[in-house]
Amino acid sequence: MAHHPHEPRDERHTPGQGHASGATHGDGQGHSHSQGHGHGHDTDIDWAEMAPHLEAQAELFTPLYERALSWLGREVTEPGLIVDVGSGPGVVSCLFAETFSGARVTAVDGSAPLLERARQRADRLGYGDRFDTLAGELPDVLAELDYPADLLWAGRSLHHLGDQRAALAAFAERLAPGGTLAIMEGGLPARFLPRDLGFGRPGLEARLDALQEEWFARMRADLPGCVEEAEDWAALLGAAGLKHTRTRSFLLDLPAPASSRARAYVAASLSRLRDVFGDTLGSDDRAVLDRLLDPQDEAGVHRRADVFVLAAHTVHTAVKPVQ
């Protein structure tokens, strides 16, 4: 998968989804509402406030995650401990518990409120007896794990750490010999609407992508200890001492006409973009977004028949050599 801007309107790169001191939330998460409404410069996030959206988004993307975890199940043999780095409210953590029924799962995140939601979710689904949480700043908090992981998953959380190369080395250090590190980074831009909406200038989503590219660069630059790094994930995994790198992409294809849940996700995503980039967009594009977000407008996403959700995420894996 490519890199950051190619996952713009889902969990990790929606504007207003930057970093929050010590918090790093990957899949099953979504992102937070920007505090810099209309400007797109503020990359801090209230993750607890975002929890319902993060859960709703991860639940909508569950088919994609299920396919990714099914693939991992063929790559990893009966893991004893799975660590979900940047777990957020634990939607994907619980999918790991479901997929790998013999494993313990530890959800790791910088937000205690999100981890409490993860714990409640695991208890509700019947996984509580083999589900743990660990709160603290990544990657240092991983030193508190009781024993090495057989599978360590970082789903769209790595790019919230300033020094990604150092973070991968820290992740690799917490793997058991023969253990697998899996990171979900990059992908293709999410798409919700046809290029020509029938009003306004065609290509709105492509223009929003360009704004999000710039936003992501600012978010990365604002991270403590930020180090610019070419996003060659196979090379970075190799530099962390891991072997046998593999890459595979997974598709979420929810065709038109969209379900009410998918429409709600599309509306929430476009609403955040309208908030963040309202002063940056041209007046014509702002007017188009306003129509798209009007629940009473037949041309809006709540009513039009051609709304869909199409996204692709990529998983990169590597294995720690057995000494």
The pair phi, psi for residue 222, each rounded to 5°, is: -80, -10
Distances (CA, A) of 142 to 82, 176, 278, 287: 12, 13, 39, 47
Interatomic CA distance for residues 237 and 243, integer angstroms: 8
pLDDT at 18: 36
CB 133 within 8 A of CB 115: yes
297-323 pLDDT, tens digit per residue, is 999 999 999 999 999 999 999 999 997
- Interatomic CA distance for residues 229 and 225, integer angstroms: 12
- 268 residue type, one letter: A
Residue 52 confidence (pLDDT): 86
Instruction: Look at residue 49 in the predicted model and tell me its pLDDT.
Output: 79
pLDDT at residue number 24: 57
pLDDT of amino acid 123: 98
Of the candidates 163, 179, 17, 177, the residue with the CA atom closest to the CA atom of residue 83: 179
Positions of the chain with pLDDT under 50 = 1-13, 16-23, 28-43
pLDDT tens, position by position, 277-291: 989 999 999 999 999
Cα 310–chain centre separation: 15
Cβ(298)–Cβ(161) under 8 Å?
A: no
| Domains defined for the chain, CATH in brackets | 4-257+309-319 (3.40.50.150)
Nearest to 159 by CA among 65, 47, 19, 300: 19
